[in-house]
Structure 1
């Protein structure tokens, strides 16, 4: 898990105490008042020498600043590797290496070279959603997370990669163990939970490596096969980089989509008029998902950016080598950028949220996550019978970075 600086005790707005309260699991259900406190000091230095950026304009400036690095090796106090022996995904590299690897991946993942990829998956996405809903359609009580949001994106990404169907159950188990280890609490959780996550990462990497080796000479066998056989303008991607890209899709893409669907369904159940409107106006789902990405984003924080050299942000000089933490969810509720930012409004115009980041590291799987969520919410709203929350707020995952309910129990029908 990527962890952030651990601040001191609670204090005045914009001080380390505010950040500590955001990272406390008790704030997970509603961190937004604390983000408002942070915004009173757009760039706040922490006791360990890191910096927190919390306002829209300053976050956008940092995300688009070429003097900022995503390579953690550039930190003045480098972190130990999360996974020994693993090649980092391109989102953890800098230009020109980042740009080269991203171009190679995007040739097979979206415009301009593969513009019809996501649209070409429409029937598969709908079939997977229908199958999952069929399995619980007659139940009085369901868990939207366990019964739907967790299995859906793993199945989709396995299909996209070209993972054999007989291997899919293992991928579901590995991703589940990895996600459980992200929320590991050393004070309450057995060490086995952490060890299972470490082993799952290793097993997943080894399995993907074998699949890539088998795909050489089979360019039509999913994304793994296309990447393994493509000699484009930038050359051929190495097997290690293909595995890193596939792991990025499976883990980061999975977690983003799970949280977006769960946060979306929770928000709709809290706004029944919007839910009924979506049922009557399915096309509303497109702007609605954009508003969800602003209002309840699945990725709340980018914990790590590194200044190559001294930079100035909002009149604050940040020394080279410093860790910079970007509070995306705070920026997307900045009243200086969005009118009435704490109101959920699917009709909102000029909605340039930070839900998928910005700049050269803008989420490359965003089109797929959007379409998955659009189909998922449309069908859940259409097919569930008078759904209502069992518990509000629901229990949340511990992570302040990837925020979403760990369970979302919903009652339907007359039960």
Structure 2
């Protein structure tokens, strides 16, 4: 394996014209598993090399370890642990996981089933009388906002404010200074500030008042790792809201699009509801919500395959390419919910494996099951649908379908 500059392929992947189908370009990229770019950064695109480097202790998530540091997206605020390295990352992640999943709270996700189903049912009820719906705006977008508000303990009357903030933040992620009005970026920065202030105020009310919501548990926890500071709690809640929301929206929307493109699988899911569990795993491989980790840094020189990546280099990880690698997956471009040994990279791997993955999986399972069961004869209005600009968090910005509204 040799290191080769492949700037044209990467530029075409990042260009919006490739958003609806980047997979043939990923195949081109995989010809050089570790490719040096003109600016000295490295792109990794094959499964084995991605899996190796994601578990390499010399891979850093801290921008300060880049030779040419980039400005933090979070400004001067406390970064979330996704942008930290051990041991601080491990401490904060352990503290968050104590209240979000096993082993300390093993029943959290399962205990949400009834409220998840109720929320989904209510959104589908609102389809009545409409011959055309937008799966994104009418369903996949509002669903996870409601879930995260419930988890954090946000009062129901404040939920509309959360939706406005999330909308402005997500729009700012896709901001292109060449074509977009500056207001998009300004609204995103304002939303970030207002959201943090709101979460901080909510947190103040939780100190000394233990309750079942996540903010309360974090505020009053004094486990083996001590307590999070208020700034750390707000950053963790912000991470859960933004990262968890966007990935879930994309997973549900990409899932419905894939089912509509594979009507025989859609019908099979109707007939075999238990198929939804392996089906969502295959969606995470075949049409994942996160395509690229746009940067990591090398603590020191890192050898990946036959290539030495120098200390301080920026590294781009093409997760979606790895999950379509024919050297790892049989017929990788075929959507197969019966696929075995499906160790995809849909939620990453290693120490930064998405800690909200179990919740996102369950949300997608319930959402897709109910859509398939209750929406009568759905058909796509446009294929491909319009996509978000982002090549990182890839998914349709709208997914219009026609159905028998009844």
Structure 2 counterpart of 1:155? 146
- Give the aligned partner of residue 247 of structure 2: 256
Pairwise CA distance, 1:181:
1.1
Q: Report if aligned partners of 1:394, 1:405 keep a CA contact under 8 Å in 2.
A: yes
How well do the aligned residues superpose, as a CA RMSD in angstroms? 1.1
Matches within 5 A, 1:229-378: 229-378=220-369
Contact preservation (8 Å) 1:14, 1:38: no
C-alpha distance in 1 between matches for 2:133 and 2:158: 27
CA distance in 1, matches of 2:243, 2:356: 9
Runs of 4+ in 1 over 6 A off after TM superposition: none
1:123 alignment partner, one of 111, 114, 120: 114
Give the secondary structure class of the aligned counterpart of 2:316.
strand
TM-score normalised by L of structure 2: 0.98
Task: Write out aligned runs for 1:8-407 (5 A).
Answer: 15-407=6-398
The aligned length equals 403
Q: 1:174 to 1:414 in 2, by over 3 A?
A: closer
| Contact map agreement 1:161 1:223 (CA 8 A) in 2 | yes
TM-score, scaled to structure 1: 0.96
Residue 177 of structure 1, CA deviation: 0.5
Q: Which moved more, 1:323-332 or 1:162-171?
A: 162-171
Aligned-pair distance for 1:186?
A: 2.0
For residues 48-75 of structure 1, the C-alpha deviation after alignment (integer angstroms, 9 at most, x for no partner) is: 1100000000000010000111111111
Per-residue displacement from partner, 1:79-114 (whole Å, max 9, x unpaired)?
A: 112232321111110111011001100000000000
- Secondary structure at 1:147's aligned position in 2? helix
Q: Counterparts of 1:393 and 1:83 in 2: how far apart (Å)?
A: 33
Deviation at 1:14, TM superposition (A): 6.4
Task: Name stretches of at least 5 consecutive residues in structure 1 with no aligned partner.
Answer: 1-12
Partner of residue 10, structure 1: none
- CA-CA distance at 1:167 after TM superposition: 1.2
Q: C-alpha separation between the residues in 2 aligned to 1:414 and 1:286?
A: 28
> Which residue is equivalent to 2:402?
411
Distance 1:323 1:189 in 2: 27
Shift of 1:190: 1.4
**1:414 Cα offset (Å):** 8.4
Cα separation, 1, equivalents of 2:29 and 2:306: 16
**Partner secondary structure for residue 308 of structure 2:** strand
Give unpaired runs (5+ residues) of structure 2: none
Query: Does the 8 Å CA contact 1:143/1:408 hold for their aligned counterparts?
Result: yes
Partner of 1:117, secondary structure, is: coil
Secondary structure of 1:138's partner? Answer: coil
SS at match of 1:65: coil
